[in-house]
Structure 1
Amino acid sequence: MWQPIETAPRDSNILGWNQYDGVLVYRPLYFSSKNFAGWDAVYDTENLAEAPTHWMPLPEAPVST
């Protein structure tokens, strides 16, 4: 279930959503080791993704058989 971005953990990657980009993987961004600066879209090489407004945890990785 989608939750407000303000409730997201700041120590791991998340699935983030915004109305312009849809669902992207985001990582927490820090200016220094203690100053949270926002969210960085993992695969956004041009740095054009909007900040997420909602989040949910990443799903578990598939188990190989």
Structure 2
Amino acid sequence: MSEWRPIETAPKYCDPIDIWGKHGRTPDCTYGKPTYQDGIGWIYQSGYDSDGPVFELVVKPTHWMPLPEPPQLRDNEPETTRRHCPLDGGGEDAR
């Protein structure tokens, strides 16, 4: 099991991580630009609107933790696709 690490050591590329901030744990965060706020920082998908996914800033992030490894796939089970990266439009090699 991973342990919480200081936010200053968090990797700023598009693999999602869990973040601990003012409101507790926020899963699946990336570093990028929020949808309707100024600036750049640790964001999470808070929902959808008519334009698509909405990303908001994590409030006062202090720690981070990598996501656990996904479960082992069974025969004939499809792999999931990579998540959207708000910094560069996403894609297979969004790093």
TM over 0.5: yes
TM-score (norm 1): 0.68
Shift of 1:13: 1.5
Q: Give the structure, 1 or 2, with the largest relative contact order (CA under 8 Å, sep 6 or more).
A: 1
Partner of 2:89: none
Partner of 2:5: 3
TM-score (norm 2): 0.50
Q: Unaligned regions of 5+ residues in structure 2, if any?
A: 34-38, 48-53, 75-95
Partner of 1:62: 71
Q: Percent identity?
A: 37
Q: Unaligned regions of 5+ residues in structure 1, if any?
A: 31-35
Q: Provide Cα deviations, 1:41-61, integer angstroms capped at 9, x if missing partner.
A: 13x126374242100111111
Q: Is structure 2 residue 44 aligned with structure 1 residue 41?
A: yes
Larger Rg: 2
Partner of 1:18: 21
Q: Distance in 2 between matches of 1:14 and 1:28?
A: 9
Which 4+ residue blocks in structure 1 deviate beyond 4 angstroms?
none
1:28 to 31, 36, 40: 31
Cα RMSD over matched residues?
Answer: 2.5
